[in-house]
Structures are given as structure tokens and as C-alpha cells.
Structure 1
Amino acid sequence: MAQYRKGMDTKHKILFVSKKLFVENGYIDTSCKRICEEADVNLGLIHYHYKSKKNIASIIYTYFLIEVKDFVKRIMSEKFHNYELKYATAVENWIFINLLLSDERYKRFYYELCKENFLIDENTKIIEFFYKLHVNTYNLNITTNEVKLIRVANAALTMGLVAKYVENYFDMTLDQLCEYKIRNMYRFMKLKEDQIDDIVNVSYDTYKKINVKLTDYFKLTEEV
């Protein structure tokens, strides 16, 4: 039991140090060697616990996405007393994209993950679950294989949008970028344009009432 606890402590330490270094130095300029030096662990433990630096980064991305989802569900349930999946998912997108692209440190990390095609790797398959929730909740005429297609297509869209936005290819605001991403996500799910208009408008109004910040390496804090 003590050995297991020590192993888990080491695993958590590697993850925390990776978050810190990815935020401070970006993904590309953070080496496995640097992570292990900062965490004071043997280099081989990266492979033992996570297989690769890429796995660590995609896990951090996925965990943060889930944390944003949990945060939005709590706020909409407790503060607004009105949680509904289609609006909440859009609010999550407003928050997630704005947080990561409004801070230069997180922007670098997000940009580098998108350039490396991280958003469609094995660790992000859990996102399929959230599309299935929409299918089941709203009785959408979408097959299991189409859910997979939607996940990959939406991830590819997001990676392209984020990369070209950071490279100043678009003449648009961050909110306009986010709205475009949300609209196309729901188009992939075969919603009608008037339904999408409603989701965008309601979710944006809700998002503007939530004052959330990123602190201490991917930690969410709501400011009253």
C-alpha cells in the first residue's frame, strides 16, 4: 500500500510539474528531462506513468476541458438554476476558448497542441461521450459512427481555427471566433439554424454573467 501511494504521489507530481512548465515555457520547449529535474524523479518514470510527454499534454488538456464542464454545470445549476445541456455546452466553449486564448502563456500551449494535432488523439476520445449525451437528450438522428466523425471533424476545425487565429490570419475578435466554432459544432449535430441562433444568443448572455479566471496552472476561479 505504501509503495502504491508513493507511485501515485510521483505520478501526480509529474503531472503538476508538467502543467507548470507547459504554462511557463510552452509544450515544445519543455523536455521530459526538465520535467523530471523539476519533479525530482527518475527520467524513466515519465514513460512508466504516462508513456510520453505528448500523453501528459493531452491528458492535461482533456482534464481541463472536463473541469470547465463541471464548473459550468455547477454555476448554471446553483447560480442560475437553469442547467440545460445544449446551452451549457456552448457556455463551456465560450469559457474554454476565451480563457486559453486570452492569456499569452496558455495561448502558446494551446497553439502548440493544435499544431501537433493533439485534439484527435486517444486521450480525447472521452469527448465522444458528450456528443452522445446530446444525441440521447435531444433524440438526434445521429449514428454511433457519426458521433466519431463529429468528434474528429470538430477537433480538426478547432485546431485549424486556433492555429490560424494565433497566427493573425483572421480579421475577427476572439468572441467571433468562438461563435463560429460553436455554430459549426451544432451544424455537425444537424441542428437547424434557428435552434443554433437560440443556443448562441442564450449561451453568450450566460457566459457574460460568469466572471471566471485561470490561476495557478489550469485552476479555475470564479470572481464575484
Structure 2
Amino acid sequence: MGHYKKGIETKNKILSVAKKLFYEKGFKETTIADIANTADVPVGLVNYYYKKNDLLGDAFHQFILKIYTEIETQVGNHIENQIQRQLIFYRLYYGSIFNNENLLKLYRLYITKDYILEETQEILQNNIYENIMELSLDIDHAVLQRLLVVEYGTRKQLVNDTSSLWDQQAPYQMSDFVSTLSARLTGASLAVIEKNIHKIDSLMKRIRFTADDFINT
């Protein structure tokens, strides 16, 4: 049991060090040897636990989990439905990323190279599925699965194409559209979407979350 615990602690230490180095030096500029030296572990041990690409994937996976945890901790009792939860999540997620140059560089690599872990995909798709089911829309399961694929591809492309627009006057306009793509694709009314956007405007004022949480997860 002690050996297992030590192994988990070592793996977590490697990830923590890798996140900091990726953030400060850049992903391509950081070597496995850099990570091993900073974590004070053998290079072979880093390679045993992780491929370099998976380190970046796990870094964003932990970041996503951290955001959901903070949402529940800070405003969970005030959230009325899954649409609101998704709206808040993507405002925090993309707001952190597009307002921080170092994190944005990592995110673009993470998305374009498709370093997303299967566990991350499962979490995001389950949340989209819950979102659609909560709307009580009558959709065939096979059609729903295809919509999930379309939603992911559309969201990925949209974020890549419009990232340069993020720092203009309406910073949340893009994230709100992205976070409600599944609802829009499955026929939710604009009135329902706008009502939920209005609700979370007040909730966002209660939340404290920054790009620094990427390193601190």
C-alpha cells in the first residue's frame, strides 16, 4: 500500500512539474530530461508514467476537473440546470485560456494536435448529453450520438477560427455560443438560451478563478 501511494505521489509530482515547465518555457522547449531533473526523478520514471503528449493532455484534464469543482464549490447551490453549468464552465475555461498568452499557446497545441485524453472526451460528452436530456428533447439515440460528434467538431473549429476575437468588447459572446452549441443543434429555443445566459451573468460575479489555476491544479 505504501509503495502504491508513493507511486501516485511521484506521478502527481511529475505532472505538477511538467505543467509549470510547459507554462513557463513552452511545450516544445521542455524536454523529458528537464521534467525529470526538476522533479528529481530518473528520466526512465517519467517515461514509465507518461508520454510527453499525455502530460499536456493530463494537464488540461486536471484543469477541466478543477473548473467543475470550483463551480460546484462556489456557486453550485445557485445553478438551476445543466445549460447554466456549461455556460459558466466555458466562460471560465476559455476566459482563462484566451486572456493568458502562455496558456493559449499550450491550448492551441492541445487542440490542433488532438492531445485530448479519452477521459476528458467522456466528461465533456457526458455533460453535453445531460444538457440535451435536461431539455427533454425527443431525439433518437443514434441521432444524438451523431450530434455529439458534430458538436465537438464544430466547437473545435469555431474556437480555432475565432480565437483572435476574444479580447474585443464582448469576450463572453463566443464562449456562450460554443457552450450552447449542443442545445442549439438539438432545437432549443433562443429564448431559453438567452434566459440562462442572463441568469449566469450574476453568478459569474461570485466566482474567483484565473489561469494560475492551470498550474495549481
Q: Do they fold alike, i.e. is TM over 0.5? A: yes
Q: 1:161 aligns with which of 152, 158, 168?
A: 158
Task: Say whether the 8 Å CA contact 2:148–2:182 is kept in structure 1.
Answer: no
Gaps of 5+ in 2: none
Deviation at 1:145, TM superposition (A): 4.4
Deviation at 1:137, TM superposition (A): 3.3
Task: Say whether the 8 Å CA contact 1:182–1:200 is kept in structure 2.
Answer: no
Determine the C-alpha separation between the residues in 2 that align with 1:162 and 1:111. Answer: 9
Q: 1:125 aligns with which of 121, 128, 152?
A: 121
Note if 1:101 corresponds to 2:104: no
- Rate the CA distance shift 1:83–1:19 in 2: closer, same or farther, 3 A: farther
Amino acid at match of 2:203: T
Note if 1:176 corresponds to 2:183: no
**Cα shift readout 1:153-179 (whole Å, capped 9, x = no counterpart):** 33333333333344x378955323223
Task: Say whether the 8 Å CA contact 1:158–1:181 is kept in structure 2.
Answer: yes
State which drifts further: 109-118 or 129-138: 129-138
Determine the C-alpha separation between the residues in 2 that align with 1:216 and 1:90. Answer: 19
In structure 2, the residue matched to 1:76 is: 75
Say what the alpha-carbon RMSD is for the aligned residues. 2.7
- Rate the CA distance shift 1:2–1:82 in 2: closer, same or farther, 3 A: closer
Amino acid at match of 2:121: K
- Rate the CA distance shift 1:6–1:210 in 2: closer, same or farther, 3 A: closer
User: What is the TM-score when the length of structure 2 is the normalising length?
Assistant: 0.82
Deviation at 1:113, TM superposition (A): 1.0
Percent of aligned pairs sharing the same letter = 20
- Rate the CA distance shift 1:205–1:7 in 2: closer, same or farther, 3 A: same
User: What is the TM-score when the length of structure 1 is the normalising length?
Assistant: 0.80
SS of residue matched to 2:211: strand
Q: Which has the higher contact order (CA 8 A, sep 6+)?
A: 2
Determine the C-alpha separation between the residues in 2 that align with 1:16 and 1:200. Answer: 34
- Rate the CA distance shift 1:75–1:112 in 2: closer, same or farther, 3 A: same
Alignment of 1:30-45 (within 5 A): 30-45=30-45
- Rate the CA distance shift 1:171–1:107 in 2: closer, same or farther, 3 A: closer
Determine the C-alpha separation between the residues in 2 that align with 1:64 and 1:82. Answer: 21
Determine the C-alpha separation between the residues in 2 that align with 1:170 and 1:73. Answer: 26
In structure 1, the residue matched to 2:108 is: 111
> Number of paired residues?
215
Note if 1:190 corresponds to 2:187: yes
Gaps of 5+ in 1: none
Amino acid at match of 2:37: E
Task: Say whether the 8 Å CA contact 2:155–2:181 is kept in structure 1.
Answer: no
Determine the C-alpha separation between the residues in 2 that align with 1:104 and 1:193. Answer: 33
